[in-house]
Chain A
């Protein structure tokens, strides 16, 4: 799991690859269509696609002649779960801090002195 997560992070560390992924979120696309907006060669785009494929983020149909690139949304579900779980843990911790800060309001000194026991 952690290995795949590392590969996914590495794959998404590149701005062009992130952009490709976000475009594939709306629809499958051919390599040519994917390459069109970038000022790089189709070969360079193919290389980026290989990295995304290696991380399991996209797949390409073997049958269809146009071999459109397809986004593997479940990988994002996995990432979303991890990210959201961590964000939630941090958020819960900080909400406890919110409560402590509210308690300190106006009686801060008292809280501090009382803490010595």
Chain B
């Protein structure tokens, strides 16, 4: 079980839904569901993968319980960005619902629902659904450079783009 094999085997699928201002990201992992869930909710494990090495991320607040809150700051080359939100629901090994706000746009909030599915044989599928307020904001996110990720969903278009 090597990281390289995992990387080539499990690719990230992104869809921008045509009828709701939402982005859905699907990814499989070579680890049992409880481990994947823990990597998502344990403060120090989360910090290890949240951002690239070039960005220094400090977790300022992390209370991964239903009703808890979180906040982290990312810094690079003297610039910094803050992100915060709440843990709306923490249902171990199944479902994680959070709100997400970038403090540069405090009126904006997205609702992030992660579902964790046990695929058996020590594998897990995660589906992340981010819902924002409007299609304009969704498309701005697509065109901006935030690391939320995006699109596809258009099967015919997939073939065209290939």
Which residue from A19, A79, A102, A116 sits with its C-beta under 8 Å from B156?
A: A19
In this assembly, does A21 line the interface, its C-beta being within 8 Å of a C-beta of chain B?
A: yes
Q: Is the CB of A2 within 8 A of B157?
A: no
A108 to B35, CA, bound (A): 8
A112 to B38, CA, bound (A): 9
Of all chain B residues, the one with the shortest Cβ separation from A103 is B48
**Chain A residues in 8 Å Cβ range of B135:** 6, 9-10
**Chain A interface mostly helix, strand, loop or mixed?**
helix
In this assembly, does A25 line the interface, its C-beta being within 8 Å of a C-beta of chain B?
A: yes
In this assembly, does B121 line the interface, its C-beta being within 8 Å of a C-beta of chain A?
A: no
Of all chain B residues, the one with the shortest Cβ separation from A26 is B160
A114 to B43, CA, bound (A): 12
A21 to B39, CA, bound (A): 42
Q: Is the CB of B49 within 8 A of A89?
A: no
The count of chain A contact residues (Cβ–Cβ below 8 Å) is 43
Instruction: Provide the B28-39 mask, 1 if CB < 8 A to any CB of A, else 0.
Output: 011100011011
In this assembly, does B109 line the interface, its C-beta being within 8 Å of a C-beta of chain A?
A: no
**Chain A residues in 8 Å Cβ range of B19:** 13
Q: Is the CB of B18 within 8 A of A9?
A: yes
**Chain B residues in 8 Å Cβ range of A6:** 135-136, 139
**Chain A residues in 8 Å Cβ range of B148:** 86, 90
A19 to B160, CA, bound (A): 10
CB within 8 Å of A: which residues of B? 1-3, 6-7, 10-12, 14, 16, 18-19, 25, 27, 29-31, 35-36, 38-39, 42-45, 48-52, 135-136, 139-140, 142-145, 147-152, 154, 156-157, 159-161
Closest 3 CB pairs of A and B: A115-B44, A90-B149, A96-B49
